[in-house]
Chains A and B, each alone.
Chain A
Amino acid sequence: MTQDRIVEYLRWRGRAEPPVTLVPSILGAIDGAPTARSWFAAHLRVVAAAGAVVLVAVAALLLGQSPNVGPPPPSSSTPVEATPAEMRDAVERAVETLLESPGVRGVQSTSILGELAVVRWIDHRRNGDQVLVQRTDLDVAETGWWLIPDSEPPATGRNVLTYIWVTAGETFHWARIPVWDEGPAWVLTDLDELPNRTPAEAGAAAAPAAAARAAAQGVLLLGPNPLELLVEDGTVERQDRADGGVVWTMTSPHRDGTYEQEWRVGPSGELEAWSWDLVDVTAIPEDRPYTSGQVTFTVMSDPEPITPPDTDAAPDPADFGLPEDFPLGAG
């Protein structure tokens, strides 16, 4: 064992990626802690309170684009039992309502055993135009570390592959970062050449192709076909919110674990957010290992139109409005 290897290991220990729920959990703990006031303490408290919406947005990976995202509004009712069919109908209507909005921004993240694996930034228009930026942490998503008990990914945030898919009118461009060694950075693709697979049919390794097709077709991505997860043998609860929105939850068996899902429908009937956790599993699925995920949407009433990329310029997600501090940006 060389000194370099030891130092490399020690440096690796300092590169852990915090869970996206870290800041909200800290704020929650501070809320419940007895306090001793001072001017500085008050300063922290006020700043923390003022930043609560932003901080929750960080947890949801909604950075700088989430006026309607924050702590759930107070509920006006206690949860009541409902049927999976009722929930599925409500969710499908909520998705349709969302797609009818002039514009939608969405931010999605999926994790494997708490490690951030994939983040997506979606900018969707009612006419089907769409920009989708997807960043995948290859060390987390594709090294199979989850197959080894008590293991961790070899690194985090070091090897990030970014795809940009742009559907604008009749054109579909895509690029990847790092760019290819040869050929143009931007590729103009015939939609018929894309693999004809749905996200549900494609495993994690094929996700870029499946996502590309969905992006090209103007499909608002919710991950690997989430409606499949609304199964008939799930236990469903419905909770009406004071603002007219509804929170649906479903607990259902999945392989050797349990899926816990929450779908939030806004007062106007649009889908606000979806989150899920795969818990109590003894073996992580090899083909689709994501164990938790969330996607949150923001409706835009008067969005700018989406235009094809400047194919002479190097692909840069920032050109499409991606916030500079969007997760997994260091790779």
Chain B
Amino acid sequence: MLVEQHAAVTYRLAAAIVGTADAADVTQETFVAAWQQLPKLRDGGAFEPWLRRICVNRARNWLRARNRRPQAVLDIGDDRAVEALPDLRGDFRGAVEARALVEPAFEGLTPEQRAVLALHYSMGLSIAEAADALGIRVGTAKSRLNAALTALRREIENPLRDVETEPAS
């Protein structure tokens, strides 16, 4: 039941790094790679962190290969896009507006920055677990995490971000 047991969490990690549009493909690649590399895994109990490392690597490779420029989920310059949303709950509109700002900024981060943010914040892993998944030291993971947050904030506060963006390939 290894596939069934780990598919959902692997998918969520992939989605946190590359987005939901490509997460299923990355998840599938991860399991195929794991299946092919299983002979290298001596300790069956270490399957989960091992699979996580494969997923992170696959996700980073996917992003590099995709070479996609930032894309906004909502065109935040067009108020009609937000106005069209039904205001069913108090926090919904705010959350969508926040997403409209943060998501394009996140898309502008490097694969390494996205991965460390996804591991620590999206998946709730400790710095040590994130470091293990990234194959780096704990101290390096800490500094990379801080740098990623700083870069994300810089992207959010950059008003020219969309102007500089080239059309998606």
Q: Are B28 and A29 in contact, CB atoms less than 8 angstroms apart? A: yes
- B55 beta carbon closer than 8 Å to chain A: no
* Residues of chain A within 8 A of B8, CB atoms compared: 18, 22
Residue from A15, A26, A38 in contact with B31 in the complex, judged by beta carbons closer than 8 Å? A26
Interface flags, B123-159, vs A, CB<8A=1, else 0: 1100000000000000000000000010011001100
Interface flags, B38-59, vs A, CB<8A=1, else 0: 1101001000000000000000
**B84-132 at interface with A (beta carbon < 8 Å):** 84-86, 88-89, 92, 95-96, 98-99, 101-103, 106, 117-118, 121-124
- B164 beta carbon closer than 8 Å to chain A: no
* Residues of chain B within 8 A of A45, CB atoms compared: 35
Residue from the set B20, B41, B74, B123 with the largest chain A CB neighbour count within 10 Å: B20
Known: A33-B32, A148-B85. A41 touches B39 (CB 8 A): yes
Interface size of B by CB at 8 A reads 54
* Residues of chain A within 8 A of B74, CB atoms compared: 148, 150-151
How many A-B contacts at CB < 8 Å in the complex? 154
Q: Are B27 and A22 in contact, CB atoms less than 8 angstroms apart? A: yes
| Assembly CA distance A155 to B98 (angstroms) | 13
Minimal beta-carbon separation of A178 from chain B (angstroms): 14
Label chain B's interface by main secondary structure. helix
| Assembly CA distance A16 to B27 (angstroms) | 13
Q: Could you tell me which A residues sit within 8 Å of B by CB distance?
A: 1, 5-16, 18-19, 22-23, 25-27, 29-30, 33-38, 40-41, 43-45, 47-48, 51, 54-55, 58, 114, 138, 142-145, 147-148, 150-152, 154-155, 159
Q: Are B117 and A30 in contact, CB atoms less than 8 angstroms apart? A: no
| Assembly CA distance A143 to B87 (angstroms) | 8
Q: Are A26 and B3 in contact, CB atoms less than 8 angstroms apart? A: yes
Q: Are A11 and B122 in contact, CB atoms less than 8 angstroms apart? A: yes
* Residues of chain A within 8 A of B44, CB atoms compared: 40, 43
* Residues of chain A within 8 A of B86, CB atoms compared: 142-144
Minimal beta-carbon separation of B137 from chain A (angstroms): 22
Residue from B7, B12, B89, B124 in contact with A16 in the complex, judged by beta carbons closer than 8 Å? B12
Label chain A's interface by main secondary structure. helix
Extra A-B contacts (18), CB below 8 Å, given A6-B102, A155-B95? A5-B102, A9-B98, A10-B122, A11-B121, A12-B99, A16-B15, A18-B23, A22-B8, A22-B24, A26-B27, A29-B28, A29-B31, A33-B35, A40-B39, A48-B2, A138-B88, A142-B86, A147-B84
* Residues of chain A within 8 A of B12, CB atoms compared: 14-16, 18
| Assembly CA distance A10 to B156 (angstroms) | 14
Residue from B28, B81, B98, B153 in contact with A26 in the complex, judged by beta carbons closer than 8 Å? B28
Using CB atoms, name the residue of chain A closest to B15: A16
